[in-house]
Each structure stands twice: as structure tokens, then as C-alpha cells.
Amino acid sequence: MREATRGEAIARAAETPHIILNAPLVGQRLGYAELSGLDLLELFAFIHPARFAVPTPAGLSRSAGLDPPSSESEAASILQRIAGALIERLTAPGWPEREGAWTVNASLHRLGWGWAPLVAKRLERPERGERMLFSRLPQWEELGDRPPPLAARVDPTDAQSKLAQLTGSNAEPREGQKAMASAAASVFAARKSRDGPNMLLAEAGTGIGKTLAYLAPASLWAERSAGTVWVSTFTKALQRQLDSEGPRLFADAAERAKRIVVRKGRENYLCLLNLEDALQGGFAGRAAILAQLVGRWAAYTRDGDMVGGDLPGWLPSLFRRAGSTALTDRRGECVYGGCPHYRRCFIERAERAGREADLVIANHALVMINAARSREIAPQQIVFDEGHHLFDAADSTFAICFGGQESIELRRWIVGPEGKSRGRRRGLAARLMDVASYDDEGAVALEQAIEASRALPSDGWLGRIAEGAAFGPIEGLLAEVRGTVYARAKAQDAGYGLETELAEPDGALVGAAAAAHEALEALQKPLAVLSRRLEAVLEDAPDWLDSQARARVDGAINGLHWRRETLAAWGALLARIGGPADEDFVDWLAVDRIDGREFDVAINRRWLDPTRPLAEVVLKPAQGVLVTSATLRGGDGWETAEQRTGATHLDCKVGQFEADSPFDYRACSQVLIVTDVKQGDLAGLAGAYARLIEAAQGGTLGLFTAIQRLKAVHARIADRLARDGLPLLAQHVDPIDPGTLVDIFRDDPHASLLGTDALRDGVDVPGESLRLVIMERVPWPRPTVLHAARRMAGGGSAYDDRVVRARLAQAFGRLIRREGDRGVFVILSAAMPSRLLRAFPRDVEVSRVPLDEAIARVRNVFANDPAVVSVGERRSEAVADRD
């Protein structure tokens, strides 16, 4: 090991494969995107599929059983030792993931995987051939329908006893937690009103322990009634946390796996048929190597969840995301019973397990989609945790987007692969071949549907409409939409999305919309006939209709059902062009772009108030609903909480509960509003970030409202901080998924992380790793068409204030997660109106100070913090290393 300049490092790495940790990230830092070599993370994923490791020298050292490096130079030299320790495991007699390794490595060898020859030297060829991956996976059992839940009562005292049992004798339940468990029990009583569920809104400050407070009555009710409670979250962080509470409820692992099931949308899971296709030559080059590593993982995964489950989040990004989405069932092409892996399918298994479970841990989107258009029974008892996100989740779930990307997906679903496209994708005709040969009327409808779907855009549509060569009525409409947007839109961020209100359309747009509407109707009709014929086939139950064929026809009916609903919604949207606007909706035209490159053209529709469909579809049919959050009111009154959860649309009484956080915010936190960083002064902003991060010695979460400013600040300060031993990670800059960025940030108290909205909500980092939050400016909503409409309906600037207060409350909430945490919250904007300050906890001290004083205060707060002191030592070492 020796030091090298950037240029020499690139030259050496280009000619000889080097041991690297995270090639895309190192390549990006070197300014050499094509960097490749022997990536330790790939080796780890091969040896320990479905195990978690933080993808840093320290994280991987721990996973390999080595002491983490204590300096930068040690971090470089330890890579070789990690490689050695991992390779040694191949010969260890107790290596639990041995089965399948030899066969997969042989395939990887053929694909030119760099580690394969080294692995092959250590791996003994098994005496008997290894079982095929697919035959190793367990099969699910078909079960009868579960009877409806029995009537059951949970008294407040029962809930409290259960809570005491869950918290254990060491941890006395806190008063707020006990009160919440009692209040939450009311949700599970017999429903009192015809018009709505037992509903409770509960604002429980951070540190109350609200998770166990609702799990206590929920688990009791599930046990007594033999029913299921759905616990819905917005972020993966909370989903993981809930899952980790499982051992308190069921100590036995097998029992736990049956009684608590995590459910996600089907696009999260590995589709075995897609994997088989990829392994058999459907993928080439690096994507084929990824497919082999995913195949290794598939044999050991708990549930087949590729996004946020036990597939390391960093694995797809090592392959620059090539192929990983093609391994899931994103396009709804599942052939159900027609699939050779149906009985082993992860999605089918999760769905069946969910039906039998006491607790289903899901997310808001899945709960809403299930209630809106599922072949499953809608959830009856629901706990919405992170309830402050219900509005946004409903907003996107009930959104309608009629654009090029959506309509080409529909065409592919119906027609199947066309032109040069590869893969196993099949159209409707291939999926329903046996039905078509049995039922003539169905066969004709299928033919007509395929014919009509050719009016939808096909590959290359974006290029054609940009060149004025649109083909067919839908491409014709999209060309008009695009023209209108470019003519009317006021550019916001250069190179990013453009939009304009759907108002006063000109004659050409109205004409194009009418032609497109006709084309959609021509498609609607045969799809409706086909649905009816499929239902008739199910009723006839011919001899060939075994349980698998039945499942496939059922799947097609289900798929047709929601595609017809989509078509109807698109039709309604088009019918409105040229006519009066529907005041329940906000409609606009958009050209979506990233860095100046167009990727979609669309007509969008959102509910002005998306909690209306939420109330109709999810809340009213449910028996009991608890909505909870630490910031449910977002610094406002209960009226705000009712508006943002759909409670205002129910005719029944909705209960309220509140418990203050037990933390002494005055003692453990402060808010600093910096008065002398000028808006628009990028150099000043970057300098402020760097100095504040230095004062806290890392441990900083920096939040931005615009990606461009985030990138600009990062570019100015990352090197300077790195030289001082303070790593700076950044969303939208580092080629790593946000979940992994947070894992790295959490693991290193010296690291800092810059990000946008998603990080404001999804970061749960208790302890010293997060001690300073910096917001670059007041997080006003972006001035979009949708925002303008909601602002007007919601009381003008009062609406904006509510949005900002909710955001500030969320951002501040990242800081103090548990007893003993300390933190400072800094806003680099003098233009912070005092009326917004009630977003923060009542007793926290808020000061307006110049930057120098803010820096001095931050330094002062953490002067004796062990994490900061140890960074100081590390920093001296980094400087010594450099010198």
C-alpha cells in the first residue's frame, strides 16, 4: 500500500484490477466513473447473502470480524485484510450460506466476475450436485378463507397490563405511554356508528413510546378476535423499527414469523420468473452478474423484499441499478397460476401470510391501494403511525397521470414485447391463450383490444413528438400538451420540470384531446367484454380450469379491472379539456425533465383535498382507525390534524388524545436563526455549512429545498471537510440509495449528510451521530400549479404557514430521539417569521444570532462531548497522515 495522486490512481486502476470498496462511489470521488475492480461489497454479497453490513471500511471490518481502522491510512490497508478474512470463510466448516455457492460461482466465472477464480480456489466442489435454487425455496400452503373476526373487547386496564408485560420489569411504562395505551383501546371496541369507524387522533411527543402503547391493545384484540390489525407506516425506518419490536410480542421466532408479517406493494418483491429469465441469458454483462448475486440472495432471504428488505440497499447501486428493477414485477405482468414458480412466489406467500397474521406491518400506500382496488379484503382495524403523512400518501395514491410513460406501460401490458425488446414479458394474448381457444367471444374481444391498444404510444414516442412526427391520436395529444407547456410555462429550476395550468386550452389541444378520448373508448369496450367473458369462464368452470388456471384468470380479471378504472379516469380527464373544470380536482400539463433531458409529457390530476377519497375508500369501511404521530397537529390546532387525516369527512365522532414528550428540550436543545447569511450568496451559504459542521465535528444533517443548491454546496466544501477527517455524504451526489446513506451516516459520528425532503422525514438516528441539523432556508412550498390551488382553497398564506410549520416540526424531530440526546437546530435564514416558531416544542430556546455566534454556541455545546473529542483526535491524525 502506498499513496498515489488522483491521476496515478486512475491509471493504475485502469490497467490492473484493485481491491475496492464500492467502485461507483470511489469512481465518482476520483472523477473516473468507469472504475471497476475487485469490489469487496460484491464478495460480501456472495459469501453472506441476505446479511446486513455497513458499506464502509469500518462497517465491513466489523462484519469480517476485524477491528475497525482507527485512521485514514489504516482504512486503506484494511481492505486487503477484509478480503482475506472473507475468503477464509469459504473454507470454514460452519459457513451457513454454503449451499449453492459452488454452482453460482461457476456461473460467475463464466461471466468474468473478478472474484470468481479466487473463490473457486477455496470452494470444494460438492460431492453431490447442488439443488437448483427454485427447488430449494419453500412452497406456501393454500388455506381456506379466514372467518371474520369475533367480537372482542379490550378494556383500558387490559391494555395497560399488556403494555407492562411488553415493556418488561426493567422499564417502568411512562405515564404518557400508559395513558395512550388506554386511549388506543377504544379504537378496538364494537363500532358505534353506521357512518364511520371508531377513530382516534393521537399526538404523542417523541420519547412517549407510542409504538408499544398501540401494539399493546392491538395485539390483545388480534388474539381475542382472531382478526388482523394493519399497522401502517410511511417510512421504511419505522417499518424496520416495528418489525424489531416483534420479539417482545412473540419470543419464539417461528411463532413470530407467523403472527407478524411485513407487507409491501408487489413491485418491491423479487419475481422468480423474471429472475429465471435473467439467469438464463435475459441479462448480459454486469447485469448478469447482479442476477447471479440476487439468485444467491433469493435462497436465503426472509421474504424476497428487494427494496428495504434484507437485500443490501447498496447492492443494486454497485451495478448502477442496471437490471434490478427488471427483476421485480413492476408492470403487473404476473401470470399467477401460469407461472412455474407460483407455489414458491414471494408475493403470493406474503399475501397469504398476511391473511393469517395478527399484525400486518405495511405502508400507507399499500393500505390505500388494497382498500381501493384489491382482490383482498380491505383492512378493518388500522393503525396509521406517522399519520402526518396521510395527506401526502393519499395525494399520490389517488393521483391520475395520463402521459407517455403510463400509456406505453398499458400498451406493453396488452400487446407484450414489440420490436427489439427482450425478456419474458408477455402480452395479454399469450397469458390468456387457453381462454381464447375455449371462448370465441373472449378471443374476439382480445383481438380487438390488441388492435385498439396500437393507438397508444410505442417505443421512441418522445423523440417523435419532439420532432413533430407524432404517430396516432395519443402521441398527437402529447405533442399538443408539450407545445402548450413550452409556450406557457414559467421556467423554475433550469433543466427541471415544466408545468402549466390546464386552463383555456387552444383549439388544437381540444381537438387532439377529443381524438385521444375516442381512441381510449375504443380500447375500453373490448376490455370490458373480455372481463365479462373471463368471469363467465370462471363460472362455467371447464375441465381444463384447474386451480392454477383459475388463479391466472382471476389475476387477469383483477389486472383488467384496475386498468379499466385507469382508462375511465383518463377519459374523464380528457373530456374536461375544453369544458368546465371540476372543482374537486386540480389539473395541469407537464413536461418532466432531469438535467434538461425530457422523460415524460403528461396531463396530471390531483384531488384538491385527497383526504376525501381517503375517507370514502379507507376510513368509512373500516371498524377502527388510530392515527398517530409526534407531530400530528404540526404546531397547530386539532382542526389541522382533522383536515389532514380525513377526519373532517366523517359523520361520526372522532376522539383526540395528546401526550407531551418527556424530554427537557430547554436543557438538551436550542434553535439558532442565523441573521447574516444572505439569500442567494452561494459562497456564503457553503462557508456557513462548512464552519458549522467543523464546529460540531460532523454529526450534521444538512437539509436543502433545492437539489441544485445542495450540489453546489457539496462541491464547494466536501474536499475541505474530508481533509479534516470529516466525511460528507450527499443525496443526489453520491451514487448510493438514501437508506444506505443514512446507514453510513448513523455508523460514523464524524460523518455528515446533506439531503432534501425525503431525508427530513426518513432519518431516525438516535444518539451522537446526529447532533446538528442545518436548514438552508425556510422550507416554503414550491410554487406549483397544485400548490397555488390548495393555497387559494386553504386560506392563502395561512395555508403556507401550516405547511412550513409541519415541515419544521418534522425536521426538528430528527434531533432528539431518545433520553440523553443533545442537539442544535440551525436555520440559515434571517427571513424566518416569528409566527412559524411555534412549530418547535414549547420550552425550546430560540435565538436570532450572527453566524460567528452560532458557530461559537455549537462549539460550546459539544465541547465536552466524547464523540466530538474523539473526532478532534482523529482529525489531528488525519492532518499528521497528510503531512
Say which amino acid occupies 211. T
Nearest in space to 86 (alpha carbons), one of 145, 39, 127, 148: 39
Shortest reach from residue 684's CB to ligand SF4, in Å: 53
Shortest reach from residue 449's CB to ligand SF4, in Å: 21
Q: Which is nearer to ligand SF4, 101 or 272 (CB)?
A: 272
Q: Which is nearer to ligand SF4, 548 or 661 (CB)?
A: 548
Angle in degrees, CA 557, 563, 565, rounded to 5: 105
Shortest reach from residue 256's CB to ligand SF4, in Å: 25
Q: Does 330 bind ligand SF4 (CB under 6 A)?
A: no
Count of other CB atoms within 10 angstroms of residue 862: 23
Q: Residues with Cβ < 8 Å from 322, sequence gap 6 or more?
A: 285, 286, 287, 290
Farthest-apart Cα atoms in the chain, separation: 83
The one among 199, 242, 339, 512 contacting ligand SF4 by CB under 6 A:
339
Q: How far apart are CA 828 and CA 861, in angstroms?
A: 18
The one segment of 294-302, 328-336, 665-673, 733-741 that binds ligand SF4 by CB under 6 A: 328-336
In order of 390, 822, 839, the CA distances from 659 in angstroms are 20, 21, 16
Q: Which is nearer to ligand SF4, 23 or 335 (CB)?
A: 335
Q: Which is nearer to ligand SF4, 342 or 825 (CB)?
A: 342
Nearest in space to 215 (alpha carbons), one of 190, 254, 250: 250
Shortest reach from residue 370's CB to ligand SF4, in Å: 17
Q: 260: phi > 0 → left, psi -120 to 50 → alpha, else beta; which?
A: beta
Shortest reach from residue 49's CB to ligand SF4, in Å: 19
SS3 content of the chain, % helix, strand, coil (to 5): 50, 10, 35
The one among 240, 320, 331, 341 contacting ligand SF4 by CB under 6 A:
341
Shortest reach from residue 554's CB to ligand SF4, in Å: 12
Q: Does 345 bind ligand SF4 (CB under 6 A)?
A: yes
Binding mask 212-241 toward ligand SF4 (x if CB under 6 A, else -) reads ------------------------------
Shortest reach from residue 315's CB to ligand SF4, in Å: 20
CA atoms within 13 A on the CB side of 336: 19
The one among 115, 314, 336, 812 contacting ligand SF4 by CB under 6 A:
336
- Measure CA of the first residue to CA of the last residue in the chain; give whole Å: 17
The one segment of 181-189, 341-349, 463-471, 524-532 that binds ligand SF4 by CB under 6 A: 341-349
Shortest reach from residue 58's CB to ligand SF4, in Å: 38
Q: Does 299 bind ligand SF4 (CB under 6 A)?
A: no
Q: Which is nearer to ligand SF4, 348 or 642 (CB)?
A: 348
Q: Cell 420479539 identifies what position?
A: 247
Q: Cell 383526504 identifies what position?
A: 611
Shortest reach from residue 347's CB to ligand SF4, in Å: 5
CA 262 to chain centre: 14
Shortest reach from residue 338's CB to ligand SF4, in Å: 8
Q: Which is nearer to ligand SF4, 349 or 364 (CB)?
A: 349
**Binders of ligand SF4 in range 626-665 (CB under 6 A):** none
201 strand-pairing partners:
627, 656
The one segment of 97-105, 335-343, 633-641, 767-775 that binds ligand SF4 by CB under 6 A: 335-343
Residue count, binding to ligand SF4 (CB under 6 A): 13
**Binders of ligand SF4 in range 263-282 (CB under 6 A):** 271-273
Q: Identify the helix (H) or strand (E) that includes residue 110.
A: helix 101-110
Q: Which is nearer to ligand SF4, 341 or 848 (CB)?
A: 341
Binding mask 753-782 toward ligand SF4 (x if CB under 6 A, else -) reads ------------------------------
Shortest reach from residue 494's CB to ligand SF4, in Å: 41
Q: Cell 435454487 identifies what position?
A: 133
Q: How far apart are CA 862 and CA 516, in angstroms?
A: 63
Q: Which is nearer to ligand SF4, 329 or 801 (CB)?
A: 329
Shortest reach from residue 342's CB to ligand SF4, in Å: 5
Tell me the Cα Rg of the chain.
Answer: 28
Nearest in space to 609 (alpha carbons), one of 388, 395, 806: 395
Find the DSSP H helices in 541-637. Answer: 547-575, 611-614
Q: Which is nearer to ligand SF4, 262 or 347 (CB)?
A: 347
Q: How far apart are CA 273 and CA 326, in angstroms?
A: 11
Shortest reach from residue 336's CB to ligand SF4, in Å: 6
Q: Which is nearer to ligand SF4, 222 or 334 (CB)?
A: 334
Q: Does 334 bind ligand SF4 (CB under 6 A)?
A: yes
Shortest reach from residue 524's CB to ligand SF4, in Å: 26
Q: Which is nearer to ligand SF4, 48 or 424 (CB)?
A: 424
Q: Are 449 and 459 in contact (CB under 8 A)?
A: no
In order of 396, 406, 784, the CA distances from 650 in angstroms are 21, 33, 30
Please, what is the angle between helix 285-298 and helix 40-47, to 10°? Answer: 30
The one among 314, 342, 585, 665 contacting ligand SF4 by CB under 6 A:
342
Q: Which is nearer to ligand SF4, 345 or 452 (CB)?
A: 345
Q: Which is nearer to ligand SF4, 351 or 761 (CB)?
A: 351
In order of 145, 368, 631, 798, 804, the CA distances from 795 in angstroms are 49, 28, 21, 6, 14
Which one-letter DSSP state was computed for residue 386? Answer: S
Q: Which is nearer to ligand SF4, 177 or 274 (CB)?
A: 274
Q: Does 350 bind ligand SF4 (CB under 6 A)?
A: no
Angle in degrees, CA 621, 625, 391, rounded to 5: 90
Q: Which is nearer to ligand SF4, 343 or 838 (CB)?
A: 343
Shortest reach from residue 257's CB to ligand SF4, in Å: 20
Pairing type for strands 585-594 and 498-501 reads antiparallel
Shortest reach from residue 748's CB to ligand SF4, in Å: 38
- What is the phi/psi pair of residue 779, to 5°? -80, 65
Say which amino acid occupies 310. D
Shortest reach from residue 270's CB to ligand SF4, in Å: 8
The one among 303, 329, 587, 734 contacting ligand SF4 by CB under 6 A:
329
Q: How far apart are CA 817 and CA 806, in angstroms?
A: 18
Q: How far apart are CA 462 and CA 404, in angstroms?
A: 8
Q: How far apart are CA 44 and CA 547, in angstroms?
A: 41
Helices (H) and strands (E) in the chain, counts: 39, 20
Q: Which is nearer to ligand SF4, 424 or 464 (CB)?
A: 424
Q: Residues with Cβ < 8 Å from 178, sequence gap 6 or more?
A: 160, 163, 213
In order of 162, 222, 348, 435, 473, the CA distances from 816 in angstroms are 28, 33, 40, 60, 56
Q: Are 764 and 741 in contact (CB under 8 A)?
A: no
The one among 187, 218, 260, 335 contacting ligand SF4 by CB under 6 A:
335
Q: Which is nearer to ligand SF4, 416 or 699 (CB)?
A: 416
Shortest reach from residue 345's CB to ligand SF4, in Å: 3
Q: Which is nearer to ligand SF4, 272 or 759 (CB)?
A: 272
Footprint of ligand SF4 (CB under 6 A): 271-273, 329, 334-336, 339, 341-342, 345, 347-348
